[in-house]
Amino acid sequence: MPDHKIGTREQWQAARGELAKLEAEQAERNEEIKRKRRELPWVPVQKEYAFDTEEGKKTLAELFDGRSQLLAYNIMYGPDYTVGACPGCTNLADGFDATTLLHLNKRDVTMICFSRAPIDRLTAYKQRMGWVFPYISTYDTDFPWDFGLALTEEQAEQIRCRRLTRLSRRTSTSSSTARRRNSRTSRSTTERTSTRRNSVRDRSRPPALLLRSQGRECQRRRPCIGWRGADGG
């Protein structure tokens, strides 16, 4: 367990007061962000889409299921996935239970999830996970690309190149820093050894180098996407 600062009750109260100010500022900022999100303009969906569902083909308007709002979450499950959907998306989708759907429906919201894999694989995965929400396939449609939910090979390659470039720079910087630290450590070993018997502090701070590696890639989650039909459908 890492060492932690120990203080008096008064010190804790003072630090907690400073933290409360930051929390209040963050709460105010969150309210501003929510307001700006609600003020974003609506964009009419001009293209006609046909999706595969467990009940057959449905248009985007039909997915609203008679309600004025459609809340859709994109689960990362591509046509070339062999094991199943993204573990992170799967874990999140486990929380979309019947109670959640019921409360959304009472607020005039229909909630669905969709993925790019064919409908038969989505249906099997839904049964395996015990999900109850409508699971829609966008397979063989332009929908994922029109709404920024999928990347072309060219776009994916550009992102990979940028990530590799950033990783290479981080690795180069870390290696250079490590070499400089090792050089300083080598030069000061004799001095530390000679003073170790007379200095308690040197005993508690051995000449060790800790390198921490970062993951090469973070899984990116897409936010929920909402549409609202002009005629409420």
CA separation for the pair 7, 5 (Å, rounded) = 7
Residue 59: inside a domain:
yes
Can you give the residue range of the structural domain that contains 111? 50-150+221-228
Q: Is residue 73 part of a domain?
A: yes
CB-based burial label for 225 (10 Å; 0-12, 13-18, 19+): middle
Residues contacting 225, CB < 8 A, separation 6+: 71, 72, 73, 74, 147, 149
Residue 68 lies in a domain: yes
Residue 110 resides in a domain: yes
Q: Report yes or no on 105 lying in a domain.
A: yes
CATH number assigned to the domain comprising residue 69: 3.40.30.10
Which pLDDT value is given to residue 150?
Answer: 81
Could you give phi then psi for residue 79, rounded to 5 degrees? -60, -25
Element (H, E) at 87: helix 87-93
* pLDDT band of 157, cuts 50, 70, 90: confident
Model pLDDT, residue 12: 94
Report whether pLDDT(67) > 80: yes
% of the chain with per-residue pLDDT over 70: 73
Say how many domains are in the chain.
1
206 token code pair = 């051995």
- Compute the residue count for the chain: 233
**14 pLDDT higher than 50:** yes
Please list the residues that pair with 70 across neighbouring strands.
110, 227
pTM above 0.85, yes or no: no
Q: In the predicted model, is pLDDT for residue 65 greater than 60?
A: yes
Q: Is residue 169 part of a domain?
A: no
In a domain, 191, yes or no: no
In a domain, 43, yes or no: no
Contact (Cβ atoms closer than 8 angstroms) between residue 152 and residue 225:
no
Q: Nearest to residue 110, comparing CAs of 51, 61, 64, 45?
A: 64
| pLDDT(208) > 70 | no
Q: What is the pLDDT of residues 101-113, one digit of tens each?
A: 999 999 998 999 9
Based on the number of CB atoms within 10 Å of its own CB, is 92 exposed (0-12), middle (13-18) or buried (19 or more)? middle
